[in-house]
């Protein structure tokens, strides 16, 4: 499944320039920041990067990837277990509502995959690739024509009854 999602992200990245030929003045952006991931089992952290294209003032697409940087440890019964967010990747459709000349609200919906690892003391670690339907909302404040800051919340509803997670991200945005 990871191969399918990474292939979809690659095709999306290739197709953005083709769409740009038919859409007047698309706005390409990248962002990087920190994500706090609150799962049912642990609170984890990650560095998140995004690339997107605003195809119209109201609609766009974006892809994101994260690498876990903050682990959590809990006792499950009498066993201490370390939880890790290894990585994730997702693709989204984004709807934007400009509310001020330098403030936009947005909503997004997409699909992703996340890898978690649990390592009980004195036992073998296990990794899970969990697929999810993702949806969320946020706001972006533009400092000038090229730079801004963004804050958003995204819910990840994992498929096959594997639970859910809330991702809270703060990031710097650069437009081209």
Decide: 112 and 154 in contact? Cβ < 8 Å.
no
pTM: 0.81
Average pLDDT over residues 94-106: 97
Burial code (b: 16+ CB inside 10 Å, e: under 16) for 153-171 equals ebebebeeebeebebebeb
Which pLDDT score is estimated for 20?
45
In whole angstroms, how far apart are CA 175 and each of 13, 53, 66, 130, 147?
Answer: 16, 9, 20, 31, 6
pLDDT in tens, 157-169: 999 877 999 999 9
State the average pLDDT over residues 86-96: 97
Query: According to the CATH classification, is domain 2-175 in 3.10.20.590?
Result: no
Domain ranges of the chain: 2-175
Annotate 88-133 with DSSP letters as a single string: EEEEEEEEEEEEETTEEEEEEEEEEEEEEEEEETTS--EEEEEEEE
User: For residue 79, what pLDDT is reported?
Assistant: 78
Q: For residues 140 and 173, give the distance between their C-alpha atoms in angstroms, rounded to a whole number.
A: 9
pLDDT digits (tens, 9 = 90+) for 109-138: 999 999 999 887 666 667 788 999 999 999
pLDDT digits (tens, 9 = 90+) for 28-67: 999 999 999 999 888 999 999 999 999 999 999 999 999 9
Q: Which pLDDT does position 129 carry in this prediction?
A: 87
């Amino acid at each position: 499944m990871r191969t399918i999602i990474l292939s979809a992200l690659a095709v999306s990245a290739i197709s953005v320039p083709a769409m740009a030929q038919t859409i007047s003045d698309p706005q390409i952006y990248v962002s990087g920041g920190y994500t706090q991931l609150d799962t049912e089992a642990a609170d984890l952290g990650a560095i998140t990067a995004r690339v997107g294209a605003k195809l119209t003032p109201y609609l766009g697409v974006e892809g994101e990837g994260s690498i876990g940087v903050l682990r959590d440890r809990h006792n499950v019964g009498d066993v201490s277990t370390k939880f890790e967010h290894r990585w994730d990747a997702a693709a989204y459709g984004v709807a934007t509502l400009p509310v001020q000349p330098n403030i936009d609200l947005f909503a997004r919906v997409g699909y992703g995959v996340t890898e978690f690892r649990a390592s009980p003391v004195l036992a073998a670690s296990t990794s899970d690739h969990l697929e999810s339907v993702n949806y969320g909302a946020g706001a972006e404040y533009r400092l000038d024509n090229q730079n801004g800051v963004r804050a958003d919340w995204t819910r990840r509803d994992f498929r096959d009854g594997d639970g859910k997670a809330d991702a809270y991200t703060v990031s710097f945005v650069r437009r081209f």
